[in-house]
């Protein structure tokens, strides 16, 4: 596996608060990576920096074979380069059908005539994506009628439809049933066979099911990295994130 994303010595402060502090990490292609850590650890700021929503004060963020410096690109340019992001709360078009949501997200020329001429082909492509996310029987249902978990799947499908190389997924298991979390695990593991997928998650059991490399952030730094069992055994991670079990009085 070769590195697709290289974050080197990145720092970012907001009004004197250092949200990211000399952070360095790399993500390969393909790879499934989970990022965990306490609230305020810098997880969201990390995603904001990679997608261009926020600019670092120092350091570099390089992407792809040409090692493009993302800090010099706009959010739109970064998206076109192949980096997609799914936020924690689903942001689907609820009055549109599932297939319409996916069709609008498809990576293709935006020329209106081209879109019109390729409409049947685009529906077929949207249907293929819907099958990948378990919504093949809901193509003509309005997105607003879907369950919370299905809306999460639809947004993951919309992300896949954009054909990104790097997917940034924020708390995909939040608010899901046990069965939905299991299906979401399968979906992300499958996507990571030919993409780089970075998942931010608080549900440790969900992270365990991913069976991937884990990075623990704390105060904007990478505190520990490795398998989930490895980082959970790290005393520093136990102290700042997991907590130590209470001992009974003698």
pLDDT for 113:
55
Residue-wise pLDDT for 156-196, tens only, equals: 999 999 999 999 999 999 899 999 999 999 999 999 999 99
Average confidence score pLDDT of the chain: 92
Give the DSSP per-residue string, 59-98: EEEEETTTTEEGGGS-HHHHHHHTEEEE-SS----TTSBH
pLDDT confidence bin for 88, thresholds 50/70/90? confident
Please compute the mean of the pLDDT values over residues 210-216 and round it to a whole number: 98
Asked if the model's pLDDT at residue 109 lies above 60, the reply is no
Name the least confident of 10-14, 120-124, 210-214, 229-233. 120-124
Asked if the model's pLDDT at residue 245 lies above 70, the reply is no
Distances (CA, A) of 86 to 14, 28, 96, 202: 23, 19, 19, 16
pLDDT for 121:
86
Asked if the model's pLDDT at residue 198 lies above 50, the reply is yes
pLDDT confidence bin for 66, thresholds 50/70/90? very high
Asked if the model's pLDDT at residue 205 lies above 50, the reply is yes
Question: Which stretches does DSSP call E strand in the chain?
Answer: 2-14, 17-29, 31-36, 58-63, 68-69, 83-86, 166-170, 196-200, 213-218, 221-226
Please compute the mean of the pLDDT values over residues 22-27 and round it to a whole number: 98
Asked if the model's pLDDT at residue 216 lies above 50, the reply is yes
pLDDT for 243:
80
Please compute the mean of the pLDDT values over residues 124-128 and round it to a whole number: 95
Name the least confident of 36-50, 74-88, 114-128. 114-128
Asked if the model's pLDDT at residue 50 lies above 90, the reply is yes
Distances (CA, A) of 50 to 73, 75, 91, 163, 167: 10, 9, 20, 17, 11
pLDDT confidence bin for 228, thresholds 50/70/90? very high
């Amino acid at each position: 596996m070769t590195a697709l994303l290289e974050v080197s010595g990145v720092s970012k402060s907001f009004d004197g608060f250092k949200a990211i502090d000399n952070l360095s990490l790399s993500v390969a292609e393909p790879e499934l990576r989970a990022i965990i850590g306490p609230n305020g650890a810098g997880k969201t700021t990390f995603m904001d920096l990679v997608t261009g929503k926020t600019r670092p004060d120092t350091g570099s963020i390089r992407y792809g074979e040409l090692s493009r410096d993302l800090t010099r690109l706009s959010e739109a340019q970064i998206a076109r380069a192949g980096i997609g992001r799914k936020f924690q709360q689903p942001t689907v078009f609820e009055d549109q059908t599932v297939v319409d949501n996916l069709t609008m997200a498809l990576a293709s020329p935006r020329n209106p005539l081209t879109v019109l001429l390729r409409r049947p082909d685009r529906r077929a492509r949207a249907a293929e994506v819907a099958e990948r996310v378990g919504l093949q029987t809901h193509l003509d249902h309005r997105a607003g009628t879907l369950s919370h978990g299905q809306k999460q799947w639809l947004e993951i499908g919309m992300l896949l439809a954009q054909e990104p190389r790097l997917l940034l997924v924020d708390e995909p298991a939040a608010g899901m049933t046990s069965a939905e979390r299991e299906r979401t695990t399968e979906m992300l593991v499958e996507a990571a066979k030919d993409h780089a997928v970075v998942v931010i998650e608080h549900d440790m059991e969900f992270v365990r099911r991913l069976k991937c490399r884990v990075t623990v952030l704390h105060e904007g730094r990478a505190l520990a990295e490795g398998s989930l069992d490895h980082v959970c055994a790290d005393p520093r991670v136990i102290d700042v994130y997991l907590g130590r079990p209470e001992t009974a009085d003698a």
